[in-house]
Amino acid sequence: MNIAVIIIIIFSTWKWGDWKNWQKYHPTMLFVALANLLYNFIYCKGPLWEIQPGILQNGILTELLYSFIVFPLTALMFLSNLPSSRGKQALHILKYILVYFIFELVFYFSNMIIYRHGWNLSYSFIWNVMMFIVWTVHFKKPLLAYVTSLGVMIIVLSLFPA
Protein backbone atom coordinates (compact mmCIF):
# COMPACT_ATOMS: atom_id res chain seq x y z
CA MET A 1 0.00 0.00 0.00
CA ASN A 2 2.84 2.43 0.83
CA ILE A 3 4.45 1.79 -2.54
CA ALA A 4 1.09 2.56 -4.20
CA VAL A 5 0.85 5.87 -2.29
CA ILE A 6 4.37 6.81 -3.35
CA ILE A 7 3.66 5.97 -7.00
CA ILE A 8 0.37 7.90 -6.89
CA ILE A 9 1.98 11.00 -5.36
CA ILE A 10 4.91 10.94 -7.80
CA PHE A 11 2.58 10.58 -10.79
CA SER A 12 0.11 13.17 -9.49
CA THR A 13 2.84 15.71 -8.76
CA TRP A 14 4.45 15.07 -12.13
CA LYS A 15 1.09 15.71 -13.79
CA TRP A 16 -0.28 18.59 -11.66
CA GLY A 17 2.73 20.06 -9.87
CA ASP A 18 4.53 23.21 -10.97
CA TRP A 19 7.96 21.66 -11.55
CA LYS A 20 9.25 24.70 -13.44
CA ASN A 21 8.94 26.79 -10.28
CA TRP A 22 9.70 24.12 -7.67
CA GLN A 23 12.18 26.48 -5.94
CA LYS A 24 9.24 28.72 -4.99
CA TYR A 25 7.74 25.85 -2.95
CA HIS A 26 11.02 24.40 -1.67
CA PRO A 27 11.01 26.13 1.75
CA THR A 28 7.59 24.69 2.54
CA MET A 29 8.61 21.29 1.18
CA LEU A 30 11.53 21.31 3.64
CA PHE A 31 9.24 22.54 6.42
CA VAL A 32 6.85 19.59 5.97
CA ALA A 33 9.73 17.09 5.84
CA LEU A 34 11.20 18.58 9.01
CA ALA A 35 7.81 18.54 10.75
CA ASN A 36 7.34 14.82 10.07
CA LEU A 37 10.89 14.03 11.19
CA LEU A 38 10.30 16.06 14.35
CA TYR A 39 7.08 14.12 15.08
CA ASN A 40 9.01 10.86 14.67
CA PHE A 41 11.76 12.11 16.97
CA ILE A 42 9.43 13.39 19.70
CA TYR A 43 7.22 10.30 19.66
CA CYS A 44 9.94 7.74 18.90
CA LYS A 45 9.13 5.66 22.01
CA GLY A 46 5.37 5.71 21.52
CA PRO A 47 3.94 7.15 18.31
CA LEU A 48 0.36 8.39 18.26
CA TRP A 49 -0.12 6.83 14.84
CA GLU A 50 2.10 4.46 12.98
CA ILE A 51 1.95 3.56 9.33
CA GLN A 52 2.69 -0.13 8.91
CA PRO A 53 5.60 -0.76 6.54
CA GLY A 54 3.89 -3.54 4.58
CA ILE A 55 6.20 -4.92 1.91
CA LEU A 56 8.83 -2.31 2.78
CA GLN A 57 9.43 -4.40 5.94
CA ASN A 58 10.98 -1.43 7.72
CA GLY A 59 9.16 1.29 9.67
CA ILE A 60 12.10 3.71 9.56
CA LEU A 61 12.36 3.41 5.77
CA THR A 62 8.60 3.93 5.50
CA GLU A 63 8.75 7.12 7.57
CA LEU A 64 11.72 8.41 5.60
CA LEU A 65 9.87 7.84 2.32
CA TYR A 66 6.88 9.78 3.67
CA SER A 67 9.14 12.52 5.06
CA PHE A 68 11.17 13.01 1.89
CA ILE A 69 8.80 11.99 -0.91
CA VAL A 70 5.10 11.87 0.00
CA PHE A 71 4.77 15.00 2.15
CA PRO A 72 7.11 17.31 0.19
CA LEU A 73 5.57 16.30 -3.15
CA THR A 74 2.10 16.80 -1.69
CA ALA A 75 3.21 20.29 -0.61
CA LEU A 76 4.53 21.03 -4.10
CA MET A 77 1.31 19.92 -5.76
CA PHE A 78 -0.91 21.55 -3.10
CA LEU A 79 0.83 24.92 -3.18
CA SER A 80 1.38 25.10 -6.92
CA ASN A 81 -2.37 24.82 -7.44
CA LEU A 82 -3.42 27.10 -4.58
CA PRO A 83 -5.97 29.62 -5.87
CA SER A 84 -5.61 33.31 -5.06
CA SER A 85 -9.11 34.01 -3.72
CA ARG A 86 -9.88 33.05 -0.11
CA GLY A 87 -13.07 31.15 -0.96
CA LYS A 88 -11.35 29.03 -3.60
CA GLN A 89 -8.41 28.51 -1.24
CA ALA A 90 -10.78 27.14 1.39
CA LEU A 91 -12.22 24.69 -1.15
CA HIS A 92 -8.72 23.71 -2.28
CA ILE A 93 -7.65 23.05 1.31
CA LEU A 94 -10.84 21.07 1.92
CA LYS A 95 -10.16 18.94 -1.16
CA TYR A 96 -6.70 17.99 0.11
CA ILE A 97 -8.02 17.34 3.62
CA LEU A 98 -10.60 14.97 2.19
CA VAL A 99 -8.09 13.20 -0.08
CA TYR A 100 -5.73 12.66 2.86
CA PHE A 101 -8.63 11.51 5.03
CA ILE A 102 -9.83 9.04 2.39
CA PHE A 103 -6.30 7.59 2.15
CA GLU A 104 -6.24 7.33 5.92
CA LEU A 105 -9.61 5.54 5.94
CA VAL A 106 -8.21 3.02 3.45
CA PHE A 107 -5.15 2.57 5.65
CA TYR A 108 -7.32 2.26 8.76
CA PHE A 109 -9.67 -0.36 7.33
CA SER A 110 -6.76 -2.34 5.86
CA ASN A 111 -4.88 -2.23 9.20
CA MET A 112 -2.03 -0.27 7.61
CA ILE A 113 -2.20 2.42 10.30
CA ILE A 114 -2.31 1.86 14.03
CA TYR A 115 -3.48 4.47 16.53
CA ARG A 116 -2.17 4.58 20.08
CA HIS A 117 -2.46 6.65 23.25
CA GLY A 118 -6.01 7.77 22.51
CA TRP A 119 -5.37 9.02 18.97
CA ASN A 120 -8.14 8.17 16.46
CA LEU A 121 -9.58 9.04 13.06
CA SER A 122 -11.26 12.18 14.41
CA TYR A 123 -7.94 13.53 15.65
CA SER A 124 -6.39 12.68 12.29
CA PHE A 125 -9.06 14.69 10.50
CA ILE A 126 -8.38 17.67 12.79
CA TRP A 127 -4.65 17.16 12.22
CA ASN A 128 -5.16 17.28 8.44
CA VAL A 129 -7.16 20.50 8.75
CA MET A 130 -4.38 22.08 10.80
CA MET A 131 -1.64 20.67 8.56
CA PHE A 132 -2.92 22.09 5.27
CA ILE A 133 -3.72 25.44 6.85
CA VAL A 134 -0.22 25.66 8.34
CA TRP A 135 1.34 24.69 5.00
CA THR A 136 -0.59 27.53 3.37
CA VAL A 137 0.48 29.95 6.09
CA HIS A 138 4.10 28.79 5.80
CA PHE A 139 4.08 29.43 2.06
CA LYS A 140 2.91 33.02 2.62
CA LYS A 141 4.30 33.90 6.07
CA PRO A 142 6.87 31.35 7.29
CA LEU A 143 7.53 32.99 10.65
CA LEU A 144 3.83 32.91 11.52
CA ALA A 145 3.75 29.21 10.58
CA TYR A 146 6.67 28.46 12.92
CA VAL A 147 4.91 30.23 15.80
CA THR A 148 1.63 28.47 14.98
CA SER A 149 3.42 25.10 14.77
CA LEU A 150 4.99 25.67 18.16
CA GLY A 151 1.51 26.31 19.59
CA VAL A 152 0.15 23.18 17.92
CA MET A 153 3.08 21.17 19.27
CA ILE A 154 2.45 22.42 22.81
CA ILE A 155 -1.25 21.52 22.56
CA VAL A 156 -0.58 18.05 21.12
CA LEU A 157 2.11 17.31 23.72
CA SER A 158 -0.18 18.43 26.53
CA LEU A 159 -3.03 16.21 25.26
CA PHE A 160 -0.77 13.31 24.25
CA PRO A 161 2.44 13.34 26.31
CA ALA A 162 5.47 11.76 24.64
Q: Residue 140: in which H helix or E strand, if any?
A: helix 121-140
Question: Does 161 reside within a domain?
Answer: yes
Q: Would residue 105 count as lying in a domain?
A: yes
Rounded to an integer, what distance in angstroms lies between the CA atom of residue 55 and that of residue 78?
28
94 in helix, strand or coil? Answer: helix
Residue 93 domain-assigned?
yes
Indicate the number of domains in the chain: 1
pLDDT at position 59: 87
For 88-147, write each residue's pLDDT tens digit.
Answer: 999 999 999 999 999 999 999 999 999 999 999 999 999 999 999 999 999 999 999 999
Structural domain includes residue 66: no
| Whole-prediction pTM | 0.93
Q: How many CB atoms lie within 10 A of CB 150?
A: 10
Residue 5 lies in a domain: no
Q: Is 7 exposed, middle or buried (0-12, 13-18, 19+ CB in 10 A)?
A: exposed
Does a structural domain hold residue 110?
Answer: yes
Q: Which amino acid would we find at residue 21?
A: N
Q: What is the pLDDT of residues 37-84, one digit of tens each?
A: 999 999 999 999 999 988 888 889 999 999 999 999 999 999 999 999
Q: What pLDDT digit, counting tens, does each position of 14-24 carry?
A: 999 999 999 99
